[in-house]
Amino acid sequence: MSEALAAEMPNVAVKGGVVPYLSIDGAMKAAAFYAKAFGGETVAAYPPDEKGRTMHVHLYVNGSSVMLADFYPEHGHAYEKPQAFSLNIQVDDIEAWWKRAIDAGCTPVTPPQRMFWGDIYAQLADPFGVQWSMNQPGA
């Protein structure tokens, strides 16, 4: 990356204690999808290369940072299917969050329901293979 390109990147605050950095096949498309599904806001992104890939996208989702990058197999960063994790969003109105995500194209896994611990919880999958969960604290 050139110093000129690095200088063009806005300096934005990283929000949250643990920040997921997802490797996605189509990071810019995922950022646009996360805007529709989860109210995400792209606050910084390197421009795509000649193959349409970007090395960094910084989003704000529900008050936290989420970062994305495309795979670069020629640099030792080959495609791997997302597995063994989910991203949890703490929400106040799980029905509204669920509807927006499903309407955007997420696949239901566990519809919103009251769980044994007293909260309302749901799980879904996005079109990029990432598992998401939502948790609304019980009253």
The CATH number linked to 104 is: 3.10.180.10
CA 56 to chain centre: 13
130: in domain: yes
Query: Which residues in 98-115 are b (16+ Cβ under 10 Å) and which e?
Result: beebeeeebeeeeebeee
pLDDT over threshold 80, residue 1: no
Q: What is the DSSP letter of 65?
A: E
2: in domain: no
> What is residue 88's predicted lDDT score, i.e. its pLDDT?
96
pLDDT, averaged across the chain: 92
98: in domain: yes
120: in domain: yes
10: in domain: no
- For residue 129, what are its two tokens? 């293979």
For the chain, the domain total comes to 1
Q: Provide the residue range defining the domain that includes 53.
A: 18-73+84-136
Specify the higher pLDDT residue, 133 or 80.
Answer: 133
> What is residue 10's predicted lDDT score, i.e. its pLDDT?
75
